[in-house]
Every structure is written in structure tokens, then in C-alpha cells.
Amino acid sequence: MILARRSYVYRYKTNFMFLIVNPMSRILFTSALSLLLLQSVFSQTITLQGVIRDESTGYPLPQTAVAVYDEAMKLSLAHGYTDEAGHYNISAPTKAMLRIVADKATYFERDTLLTPTDGGTLSIDLALAHKPGYMFDITLFDKAFDQNPINTLRDSKVEIYNNTTREQVLTIENLPKASFNFAFAEGNHYTMLIRKPGYLNRRIEVYVNVNGCILCVDGMGIREPDLVPLMSHNNEIGHFLGSVELDSIEIGKRFTLNNIYYDFDKWDIRPEAAKTLDKLAVFLKDNPSIKVELGSHTDARGGDEYNLTLSDHRAEAAVQYLVEEQGLNPDIITFKGYGETQLINRCDDGIACSETEHQLNRRTEIKITGILNEDPLWKRSLKEIIEDKDLYRKVIDQEKKSKSYSTSK
């Protein structure tokens, strides 16, 4: 007995035809339908590409947000970011009118309206105007090579924290080259921390129109960064070409601290000396992997024993200030008075010298005496370091339990 087979008709309307299939051809129909739908979607997609630049300098702007909207900006269609060369490449659905918007911190937002064609690629370049503030282009050098271009430092960790908004605004875990740039907005205080294994961590403070300071850059430690300013718009907008030197960590390496002066025959910490010691405390807390000696030196005037005793008192007073006033770990810093035993010029007993020459011998030095194999703060973000006031004590206590310093006299 033969049963009559019912027939079903499926219709799918395309630009060209009606597809009519029966149940025996459903698989074929499904495949054809999917293909037609995909073709329909891709035929309505456009690729937008271009370069976002700084309006004043013409420099490309990496990490600029690029978004595509409908004409009324009610519907977000696509978004992406520019690469290191300021280039973007975004695919978006085709509409009668599209609006493309470029936005980057410290720049004014820029948008443009365009009429795309069906499919294909459209190139749109945009230039962003800088808000009042300052762009820094920083190159990292090994201090030992005196800024020789072939000895720039790569593979550093670079972080910037906005103290005003309490946000970490830049994190580069492994900088593939020796330079980076960042735009500092007006009305903010920023902290920059640069770290690289085998080198001392370097903190830099940047104040942009804060508390009467139009632009102040403080190296927070041994040496200030070198900056070449290029100013415009009545000094409200600036571009700075800067170099930051990192010091390698070596047992016995010495650093001279400036502006630590004492009254005659005294060792009390004067206010100006306290400011320098405060900066030293920040530097040492940023570098908990080193152990140091603070040494005090005198000039050759006065008796040998007197100078030795006086310098020892001054060194002790400085370390006591760091421990008691700044909470520095007493286990990582010692003191020693050298008197006139390590003069750095010809001004020995009986030799006539100017006051300037004598001043060179009256100095305070920091000498590295111990090194940990790993930086206890390496895995901590700059935001954590700044906001957790007890973090320094926590990592020091942990290191006391787990590791010891390698030392050398």
C-alpha cells in the first residue's frame, strides 16, 4: 500500500528568487539559508581605518578609543583602540550615516559624520586637540653609560598613578622599547614608578597646576630627571622630551645626598635637611631589596678625633630621624661617621682652600651594603604601594622571616 506523502512548501524570499523545498530537501535548504544570511550580513559591513594624531605636533596617538555610532549617536555599532602607530581598523555595519568618535584622556573628543558605501574600506584620519596639560616623551638610560643611545634600557615596568583621582592611569608590565609617552592633565598630581630587575626603582612626582605649581617634576631620590620643554598656547600646553637614568644595584655603590647641613658643632636635624631625608625615606621604601649605610663626612678643619666623633653623631642623628619620623626599617640602615678620613679633593690639613672646596668634603653619603635576590614589591602595583600605608612594614616583616641580604664590606 502506498501512502500519499504530504507536501510542505517553505518559502524564503531573497533579492533574486523564492526557494521552494519539500521535506526531503530541508538540509539543503538550511545550508542555503545560512549561506544567504551570511552573505547578506557581510555585504552590509564596512571597514573603517585611519590614523589618530596630535593636532599640534602631528604625532600619532596610541591607545586612543575609537567608536562608531549611528547618526544620532543612540546606537553603538563598533569600537576599538589605536595601536602604537596611532592606527585603527574597525569593521562596522553599514548605515545611511555613521558617526566616528575618537577619545583620549587629556585630549578633546573629536567626531565626524560620514556616508559609507555598501561594503569596502573607508579611510578617515582625525587630529585631536590637546587639553591644557603636558605630554612627556621619556627615554630610559643606564646611568653608567651617560645616555649613550645604544645603551637605553628596555623591558622595564612603568606605572603612573593619579594621586588626585586615586586611579592608576598607566601600567606597562614590560616596556618593549626604551621610551614611552604620557599626557599629564592640568590640576593633578601624578606619581611615576619605573622598575627593572637589577636596577634601583625610580619614583618621579609630577605636579600640574597644583597648589601654585604650574609644572613641577621631582625625581624623589638621587637625581632629577632631565627635561627639554616645548611650550605653546601661553604655556598651557607643553611637550617635554625627557630622559630618566636608572642606577644598577651594586654592593659598595655610593650616592651623595645634597642639602643636608648642620649648625656648627651640632648634629640636630635642621628643617631643610629633614626635607632631603624625607625624600631619602621614600627612595629606600621604594627599594626594600637593598641594605644601606648612611655615612657622614667633614672637611679637614678641626682635629681628627673631633671630626670623627662629630660626623658619627650626625650620621646617627640622620638615621634616628629616618627610623623614628619616617618609619624606616632599622635593620636595613646603619650609620657611620668618617670624619675627614675620606676627602674627595686636595683640601687636607695645612692646605689653603676656598669655602666651596671645603663644602665638597662636608657631605652625607648612602652606600649599598646588602642586596636581596628579589624585589619584595615587584608584584605589588603602584596603586597598592601608595594607598596601603602599612605595605612597607608588611613586606619587610615578610622578608625577615623568609630571606636574608647578601652583604659585603
| Tens digit of each residue's pLDDT (9 = 90 or more) over 379-389 | 999 999 999 88
Predicted confidence (pLDDT) at residue 175 exceeds the cutoff of 80: yes
Could you check whether 133-246 and 254-407 share the same CATH topology?
A: no
Indicate the CATH number of 45-128 among 2.60.40.10, 3.40.1400.10, 1.25.10.10, 1.20.81.30. 2.60.40.10
Q: How confident is the model at residue 35 (pLDDT cuts 50, 70, 90)?
A: very low
- How far CA 7 is from CA of 1, 22, 23, in Å, comes to 19, 6, 7
> Does residue 347 register a pLDDT over 80?
yes
pLDDT(378) > 50: yes
* Whole-number pLDDT of residue 6: 40
The end-to-end CA distance of the chain, in Å, is 108
How crowded is residue 348: how many other Cβ atoms within 10 Å of its Cβ?
12
- Quick one: pLDDT band at residue 322, thresholds 50, 70, 90? very high
- Report domain extents, the chain: 10-42, 45-128, 133-246, 254-407
Q: What is the pTM of this model?
A: 0.68
- What is the pairing mode between strands 213-218 and 202-210? antiparallel
Average pLDDT score over residue span 275-290: 93
104-157 per-position pLDDT tens digit: 877 889 999 988 765 688 899 999 987 766 778 888 988 877 655 556 788 999
pLDDT interval class at 265 (50, 70, 90): confident
Q: How far apart are CA 247 and CA 219, in angstroms?
A: 13
pLDDT exceeds 50 at position 398: yes
Q: Measured in whole angstroms, how far is the alpha carbon of residue 393 from the centre of its chain?
A: 24
Q: Which CATH class is domain 133-246?
A: mainly beta
CATH superfamily, region 254-407: OmpA-like domain (3.30.1330.60)
- Cα–Cα distance, 14 to 17 (Å, whole number): 6
